Structure formats: structure tokens, C-alpha cells
Amino acid sequence: MIIMGVDPGLTRCGVGVIEAGAPRRLSFIHVDIVRSDPKLSQDLRLLAIYDGLVGKIERFVPDVVSIERVFAQENRNTVLGTAQAAGLAMLAAAQRGIPVALHTPTESKLAITGNGKAEKPQMERMVARILGLNAPPKPADAADALAVAICHALRPQGALQGGEREQHLTAAQRRWAEATQQAARRRGVRRDM
């Protein structure tokens, strides 16, 4: 199963892609940051994030998109931008018939370290260890995106929002999903880092 993790943000949106194989066997595929220029208007920034997310979905054809659930922060503008980016990730997935899972930062910390209050450096080290990376992924948004993907792989039961993939698909989406999955199998999934 290919899982794309998203750490939503309006300036920097982390994207991490992993493969979940045999029980508890996880493999690194890709990590990146989708960026938008703070000097642009809000609509153009959202478009840049959306286009970047769509590009990642079309490249890696995930079976599920796991998104860090937005939580309250002191800065309303930060929460608004984060929520909008999360909505774009959900939209991009839903348009392609890909189920979405939402996980809180506490759920990710608990799944990865066993401690729901783990500090960021501990999380980054554990993400690197679980995926067999030589060093923790940087920046922090990238590590968080991989963490939410790992969280979903380790805690899949009941995590999907909206049910199974088949419930999401219209006839056109089924054709698109089948065609892109066949194309991905023919060319093989590229692994980065």
C-alpha cells in the first residue's frame, strides 16, 4: 500500500510517501515540500499548494492520503492557512477517488514513539529509524509528513474518513484511477532521497 502523508501549511506543505508492505515493514519512497510564495495573493498561494499536491498524487498514485489534523493554535491566520491547505489535500484526493485519513499530531507521536508528548527531535530520529534513513528528513515539515504517513500505516483500523476507496469513485474516477495505476505499474514507482 502506498501512503502519502501531508503536513498541511500555506507557505510550506510537507509531503511524504511511504510503502507499507508486510506487517510493520515500511519503506521510504519520497519526501518534499510544496511551497507557496508569501508575497502572492491568498488565492494564488492556494493554487500553488493545490497544483503541487496534485502533482505528487499523480506521480505516486497513493492508495490513501493521510493528513495531519488541524489543531487550534494562537495565531488565527496560521490555523486558517493550515486548514485551507488540509482541505486542498482532501479535495485533490477525493477528486481521484483516493480515501483520506486524518491523524492528530498526538496520534502520530504515540504511534511512532509510544509517547503522545514526544519532542520534535525524538520524532525525527524515530522517523529516520523506522524508514531506514541515514539522517532525519529536513525540514521539520518533511519529517511531519512522513510521520503522519507512518502513523496511518501503524494505525489503519477505522482511520479512513468517508470509508473505502470504492465509495469515493464515480465511473470517470474509476477509469482515471485504473489508468494511472496501470501506468504507475508499467513505469515503476520512483524512489527518491
Q: Please give the CATH topology (third level) of the domain spanning 2-186.
A: Nucleotidyltransferase; domain 5 (3.30.420)
**What is the per-residue pLDDT across 28-84, written as a single tens digit (0 to 9) for each?**
999 999 999 999 999 999 999 999 999 999 999 999 999 999 876 666 667 888 999
User: By percentage, how much of the chain surpasses pLDDT 90?
Assistant: 62
The catalytic position among 7, 19, 32, 124 is 7
2 backbone φψ class: left, alpha, beta (φ>0; ψ -120 to 50)? beta
Half-sphere exposure of residue 122: CA atoms within 13 angstroms, side-chain side: 12
Residue 127 confidence (pLDDT) above 70? yes
State whether residue 159 is helix, strand or coil.
coil
**68 a catalytic residue:** yes
- The reply, when asked if residue 7 is annotated as ligand binding, is yes
This prediction has a pTM of: 0.81
Residue ranges per domain, the chain? 2-186
Give the residue among 77, 104, 130, 128 at the shortest CA–CA distance from 7. 104
Residue of 32, 68, 107, 124 with catalytic role: 68
Selecting among 19, 107, 124, 141, the annotated active-site residue is 141
- Does the annotation count 192 as an active-site position? no
For residues 146 and 66, give the distance between their C-alpha atoms in angstroms, rounded to a whole number.
10
The answer to whether the annotation marks 68 as part of a ligand binding site is yes
